[in-house]
A = this chain, B = another copy of it.
Amino acid sequence: MQNRRLSERGYRRADLAKATGCNLETIRYYEKVGMMPDPPRTAAGYRIYDKSHVSRLRFIMRGRDLGFTIEEIRGLLDLVDGGTQTCAEVKERTERHLASVRAKIADLRRIERALATTSSLCSGEDVPECPILDALAA
């Protein structure tokens, strides 16, 4: 194909981006902040990635999708990298995060009800009393 020699050796940055769906520049950012390892380079300085980079980047992105902060993901990666991870630790972190997600859902449901009520009140001619303020300010 267009870059046979390189693709025999591994992925270029754009290949990694495509393989993971990650933004091109974000890969460099993750490297800068130490979440992705400094990859080997070609003689000309081009980064060369392999399958392991694809997995790691997917791991990071999946964590972000699940609403983990960078620091939380770093923590999870440390467990992986350390090789000393215990199931108990990871489970504990996950459940803590699960609890906060459930709290957010509960809050949003309250807002949803308030908005739905407002909307139904809005069918008349007059501007209604707004229960949103009460719901949010409570």
Contact = CB atoms under 8 A, between A and B. Distances in A.
B136 A91 contact: no
A132 B76 contact: yes
A132 B62 contact: no
Interface stretch (A1-9, A10-18, A37-45, A98-106): A98-106
A118 B86 CA distance: 14
A133 B76 contact: yes
A88 interface: yes
B132 A79 contact: yes
A108 B56 CA distance: 19
Contacts of A47: none
Given A66-B104, A66-B115, A94-B119, A82 B127 contact: yes
Nearest to A117: B94
19 contacts: A63-B136, A66-B108, A80-B130, A84-B128, A85-B130, A87-B122, A87-B126, A87-B128, A87-B131, A87-B132, A90-B133, A91-B119, A91-B122, A94-B115, A94-B119, A95-B119, A102-B112, A105-B108, A105-B112
